């Protein structure tokens, strides 16, 4: 079997980031692990922030952007309140 790739999903969620609050039918876009998709994931996070559906401390915005575009997008979740990014295996 081929090695699985990764896709990332942005979820709106509760303050505790409980899995029960992460609804795949509400947040139904997946983002591939490539430059274009990561930029689109960053765009989604900025849209959610601008619409005030998530909260981010202003000083953490560059850290989140770097994690999504260049690093591990899942690690950006620790700086986002009411939102999370999860990785899923993709075959």
Tell if the pTM clears 0.85, that is, is over it: yes
Q: Any idea where the domains of the chain sit in the sequence?
A: 5-22+29-90
pLDDT digit string, tens, across residues 43-81:
999 999 999 999 999 999 999 999 999 999 999 999 999
pLDDT digit string, tens, across residues 7-20:
999 999 999 999 99
Can you list the pairs that 51-58 forms with residues at least 24 positions away whose Cβ atoms lie under 8 Å?
53/12, 53/82, 53/83, 54/12, 54/80, 54/81, 54/82, 54/83, 55/80, 55/81, 55/82, 56/80, 56/81
């Amino acid at each position: 079997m081929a090695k699985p790739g990764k896709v990332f999903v942005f979820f709106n969620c509760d303050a505790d980031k409980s899995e029960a609050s992460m609804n795949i039918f509400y947040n139904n876009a997946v983002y591939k692990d490539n430059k274009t998709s990561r930029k689109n994931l960053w765009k989604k996070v900025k849209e959610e922030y601008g619409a005030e559906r998530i909260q981010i401390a202003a000083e953490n915005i560059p850290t989140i952007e770097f994690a999504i575009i260049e690093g591990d997008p899942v690690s950006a979740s620790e700086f986002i309140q009411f939102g999370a990014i999860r990785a899923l295996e993709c075959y």
